[in-house]
Structure 1
Amino acid sequence: MQEFYKVLIVDDEMLIRQGIINYIEWENEGYKIIGEASNGEEAMQLMASDHPHILITDIVMPGMDGIELVKNVKEFYPETEIIVLSSFENFDYVKQTFQNGVADYILKPKLNTEELLQTLNRVTQSQKKSLPINEAHPSIENILLKIIEGYQSNREMDYVQEQFEKCNYVLVEAFWNQRTDNQLSQKIIEQQLKYYLNIDNLYHIPIKKDSALYIVNFSEESIEPIKEAINHSDKRIAAKQLKWIISAPFRSLRELQEVYQNNHKKIQQYHFYLPDRRILSYDELPDPIDERVSFDLNHLIYLFKRKQFQEAFIYLNEHIGILSNRYDTDVFEFQSWLENITFNIIVLLGNMNYNIKELEKEKYAYFTEINDAFHVRDAISIFDSFLSKVEKQVAPETGETMSNIQLLLDYIEEHYDNHLTLSTLAKHFHFNPSYLSSYFSKHHKEGFSEYLNNVRIKNAINMLASTDMSISAISEAVGYSDPSYFTKVFKKITNTSPSTFRKVNQQQN
């Protein structure tokens, strides 16, 4: 069977890539195009899965450019030869790539069949003797990826099992937010894990970018040493938004796909809903809150059409509060729900003759940011910024409507002398307590407790000025069971004690 040199083409211009692919009859010349990529990130994924012998790459590309790509390829795949494409004005960049091991370069204006073939033949002279060596077996990393994806052969499974000496396995993954931790790399993660696990060989499974997934082979029954190593690694790396996953242990590589699909990916999902947890292990997952409340889109539409916008916003926030605690909700489903509500609100406002030009213009940016959100708090923050713009758009109507917030304020004015808490109010009005708290603060520039204290002290002032009731009786009458606490709150708000206030007020009268 004829053996080919495998070639990967990388350029952000599709016409350039297609031009190179169509310049020559590749297989007639002993080469085979195994893929094409538009930037360095895509190229590194193809490098991991296809292991080309030759990489032909442009220099100037969005995201990971050619210089960084050359460094990464030479670091992780040193056997791959690299040919750089360059224009005259970018030739200074080409000089930098030669320091990192580039084999040759071609100026784009001179790119033609003859030039390309001559360069390829020069580059492959050093590879002719070693070409078949890696063809017998794909790399262990590549076979592990095949096992996860479910298309490995029996021969590959037997081969990779022979490479592991111990009887227990566990998957460990580190992933990070590219926006806040763009300096992190698989190499940095691997160095720390090797050091703290005290092992020389660690098999990386190239599943996706901004992530480092490893299979750890160990002999002990307990995975506590692995947990400890991850804790140390995390502290040493000290990234802003780095998260770790420790999957359930297993005893055969034939279980790898099931553990990854049914256990590992579940932990990934939990991470989205638990932004403050950096490390999640299979045996330390919190129980999801089983509060199955369905969302009624028709009710939201009804509230909008009646211009009861505050009620509509509270209804939305209440349901978001429920969804954000249901860790078993698919992340894509949660993000799609936010995007669907965003889309429906814009359509509703348009049908109600509001000016939605700016919202229409920005909606796809909202969709993209929600999809790219690293965790639930990011996604909700993006949605809240959208709702804030909607609130400004409908501001005249919000002041004319008897909203649920106003009903809540009226309720506090009437029942301030009772035992009132945020939870009892939320239950009475069928709100989510956490979102009622944030919504209250947002619209009244003070929290629920501050507002309630102000209402109680306002009424206490009236009683002190107009009655002869004792201070302890007034304390109880306005909702405080402890007179000393009442005095403390009164002094904090009025800068004087109840007794001094009464004395001064009586003298003035």
Structure 2
Amino acid sequence: MSGLYKVLIVDDEMLIRKGIINYIDWEREGFQIAGEAANGKEAMQMIEKVEPDILITDIVMPDLDGTELVKLAKAKYPELEIIVLSSFENFDYVRSTFQNGVADYILKPKLNGEELIKTLRRIAPATKGTAKKAASMEEVLEKRIQGYTLPSHEEQMLKDFPYDRFFLTAICWLDSDMEGQVLESFMNLGVDKKALLLPENENDFYLLLINFPVEQQLSVKQELINLTNEHRGTGKNIASLISMPFSFIDELKNIHENSLQKLYNYLFYLSGESVLIDGELPETEKANTFRLSQFIEVFKQKKFDSAIASLERHVEQLTQDYKQDIFEFKSWLENIIFNIIVLLGNMKYRVEELEQGKYQYFADINEAKTAKSAVARFEEFLGAVQSLLADHTKADRSPGIQALLDYIDEHYADSLSLGALAEHFHYNPSYLSSYFSTHFHIGFSDYLNHVRIAKAKEILATSRSSVNLVSEMVGYGEPSYFCKVFKRIEGMSPGRYRKKSSAKM
């Protein structure tokens, strides 16, 4: 037992502590549980008593939290190695603990036996009085990116770069079976100094720092572009991100956060591009605001083709706005899915299959690495909606009703009444009135108004006919009444609609 590394676990939740204890076979892996504590005060008492080699601690705890515990423990026991547990929302808070000597962290949602033992093994060789191995250049650069305070000898290492210009480059989307070959080709660029930093496993990219004389800046950039295109030309799934050039290694953290991470977010939308270079990006325009209330109104009128077409146009706009927040984009798609299912359910459509499948749609969109793959899943949902509507229409609309609706669509400019249509098509007027209310959620008069206004919009957008003439062409005797109905349905006057339509052409 004396050769085992002693571990102290600190968390105010007993279930978390017991879970950690039961994750692995500690002794078989070379460790032993020396004790457990519910807060920082208890932990400090136990550290003195059991002299652990490794401390695993939560951040948010009563009495003495994890941040204060780290400061006190490292000040009094500098050889103690510390692993911090954190939730996603506390991650930025956790980073501050690194300056006090934390060895590593584990996000609680990813806490499992494999992750825990991997982290323990990574830091264990530095315990038990074993002298710490000198950090490599890659490890020191990683610390710089993470914002650690470096000891003086590691700061000195960063002064050993011979040239006065840097690029930070990310090689993205590498498959595991080819990453070695591809990374080696980038490491062997025809430049004088480079260092592979670390695999960014969360983002599926590898970082490469390139140091070169300032006069080689254009040639280095071109070589990165050429090499990426060569690999892509052989069918490899690869893209490269190239930061702004910078002159001082102290800028590395800022370049990583504000240049490279920005490019990675843009790559979500620009996945068709092989190389993104900060400062040389294509122009983009912010997408127009989507009028959800208008979409819902059109949907309730059962103008499904029109509603879905407006959705697809807006989605296309969104995917071209690469500066848009990725989370907001995905949330918007998920919100539309939710709204459509609720609308269809309220309209008495059978939405059981859509209800059952919506969480998978949400999960797939949330996990999508590109806008293209997120939209593809969204389009699958719309396809399922259209299939449902087609099946429902076939089952629900008799040939007689379809003939009546076709008649309205052809004779919208005539003087039409519910009674006359009922008599002509041999329906009871009460049944026909109920049909419009049930299936279109509006009465017959409003249905006819919507048909007429839709025709008026076509005429206004494609001709120079006066508003008075258009009013007469679509069946309104009084232009003033036509304008009133048009504004109620479209939210603007016929004249303003025409100007807006002309501006788009």
Scaled to the shorter chain, the TM-score interval is 0.5 to 0.7
* 1:358 and 2:353 matched: yes
Structure 1 pair 309/29, CA: closer, same or farther in 2 (3 Å)?
same
Q: What amino acid maps onto 1:132 in structure 2?
A: A
Deviation at 1:279? 1.0
Deviations 1:241-297 (A, max 9, x none): 21100100111122222222222222223322222211111242111124x411121
Deviation at 1:211? 1.0
Name the SS for the 1:339 alignment partner: helix
Aligned twin of 1:20:
26
Q: Is the 8 A contact 1:370 1:379 kept in 2?
A: yes
Q: What amino acid maps onto 2:205 in structure 1?
A: S
Question: Considering only aligned residues, what root-mean-square deviation do their CA atoms show, in Å?
Answer: 4.8
2:307 corresponds to which of 309, 312, 315 = 312
Aligned twin of 1:257:
253
Aligned twin of 2:209:
215
Deviations 1:92-128 (A, max 9, x none): xxxxxxxxxxxxxxxxxxxxxxxxxxxx9xxx7x997
Aligned twin of 1:271:
267
* 1:174 and 2:167 matched: no
- In 1: Cα distance, 2:364 partner to 2:501 partner: 32
- In 1: Cα distance, 2:151 partner to 2:132 partner: 21
Aligned twin of 1:457:
none
* 1:295 and 2:290 matched: yes
- The 10-residue stretch of structure 1 (381-390 or 190-199) with the greater mean CA deviation from structure 2: 190-199
Structure 1 pair 343/138, CA: closer, same or farther in 2 (3 Å)?
farther
Deviations 1:456-507 (A, max 9, x none): xxxxxxxxxxxxxxxxxxxxxxxxxxxxxxxxxxxxxxxxxxxxxxxxxxxx
Structure 1 pair 147/218, CA: closer, same or farther in 2 (3 Å)?
same
The gaps in structure 1 that reach 5 residues or longer are 38-48, 54-61, 83-119, 417-426, 434-509
Deviation at 1:431? 12
Q: How does 1:155-234 map to 2 (within 5 A)?
A: 155=152, 158-176=155-173, 181-185=175-179, 187-198=180-191, 202-209=195-202, 210-234=204-228
Q: What amino acid maps onto 2:145 in structure 1?
A: I
Deviation at 1:432? 9.5
- In 2: Cα distance, 1:431 partner to 1:242 partner: 41
Aligned twin of 2:61:
none
Deviation at 1:430? 9.4
Aligned twin of 1:44:
none
- In 2: Cα distance, 1:127 partner to 1:153 partner: 20
Structure 1 pair 253/232, CA: closer, same or farther in 2 (3 Å)?
same
Deviation at 1:377? 1.7
Structure 1 pair 339/195, CA: closer, same or farther in 2 (3 Å)?
same
- In 2: Cα distance, 1:132 partner to 1:169 partner: 33
Q: Is the 8 A contact 2:191 2:212 kept in 1?
A: no
Aligned twin of 1:326:
321
Name the SS for the 1:133 alignment partner: coil
Structure 1 pair 432/388, CA: closer, same or farther in 2 (3 Å)?
farther
Q: What amino acid maps onto 2:23 in structure 1?
A: R
- In 2: Cα distance, 1:343 partner to 1:139 partner: 51
Q: How does 1:13-412 map to 2 (within 5 A)?
A: 16-17=22-23, 20=26, 23-25=32-34, 28=50, 31-32=53-54, 131-134=130-133, 138-153=135-150, 155=152, 158-176=155-173, 181-185=175-179, 187-198=180-191, 202-209=195-202, 210-234=204-228, 235-236=230-231, 238-290=234-286, 292-395=287-390, 396-397=392-393
Q: Is the 8 A contact 1:307 1:397 kept in 2?
A: no
Identity %: 29
Q: What amino acid maps onto 2:155 in structure 1?
A: D
Structure 1 pair 153/397, CA: closer, same or farther in 2 (3 Å)?
farther
How many residues end up aligned between the 2 structures? 338
- In 1: Cα distance, 2:8 partner to 2:239 partner: 32
Structure 1 pair 144/239, CA: closer, same or farther in 2 (3 Å)?
farther
- In 2: Cα distance, 1:314 partner to 1:274 partner: 23
The gaps in structure 2 that reach 5 residues or longer are 10-18, 36-46, 57-81, 86-97, 105-109, 410-449, 464-498
Structure 1 pair 313/261, CA: closer, same or farther in 2 (3 Å)?
same
Deviation at 1:212? 0.3
Q: How does 1:454-465 map to 2 (within 5 A)?
A: none
Structure 1 pair 356/320, CA: closer, same or farther in 2 (3 Å)?
same
Name the SS for the 1:255 alignment partner: helix
Structure 1 pair 272/138, CA: closer, same or farther in 2 (3 Å)?
same
Q: Is the 8 A contact 1:346 1:356 kept in 2?
A: yes
Deviation at 1:344? 1.8
- In 2: Cα distance, 1:361 partner to 1:281 partner: 42
